[in-house]
Structure 1
């Protein structure tokens, strides 16, 4: 439910949401069809950034701040996951 559906901001919101969803679809395609593992890791990191942006976009018109909390948690998880995958690809164990 939008706070003020009659504002011209509503059209901008819908377009931004559409662009983010399209970028997320491109990222999902690249994750599945990526030529190498490092390409997939970079795409997973970009996917996490897009999810954080999507949470921020969803929080503005709805007025619900818990979307921001979800975005912060997702950003932390994405960062730690990217570091773990990069270390795994480097060939080191997780205990070093």
Structure 2
């Protein structure tokens, strides 16, 4: 019963990722696309965690941590780019 629920949840996460990819392609604005990319990262982390539970291993925890950190940093960088137009500002002394 538990395995069936885990597989069903993996299917739902795959559908959520597919809907997010559609939002990235057809998104009306850039912030909607950034939010969809963040949603893909969250769903991917959740899907890998469920897959790890399904296999009964702890081997994927490093992958989950890496994807979570990269998704967070990319969301922050894209939001900063939308707000200011640059990600890293250099101050010049002249």
TM-score range, shorter chain: 0.7 to 0.9
1:42 aligns with 2:42: no
In the other structure, the counterpart of 2:92 is none
Over the aligned positions, Cα root-mean-square deviation in angstroms equals 1.1
Gaps of 5+ in 1: 1-7
Moved over 4 A (4+): none
Task: Write the distance in 2 (CA, Å) between the matches of 1:24 and 1:92.
Answer: 28
In the other structure, the counterpart of 1:87 is 80
Structure 2 length normalisation: TM-score?
0.88
Task: Write the distance in 1 (CA, Å) between the matches of 2:88 and 2:16.
Answer: 35
Residues paired across the two proteins, number: 89
Task: Write the distance in 1 (CA, Å) between the matches of 2:48 and 2:3.
Answer: 16
Gaps of 5+ in 2: 90-94
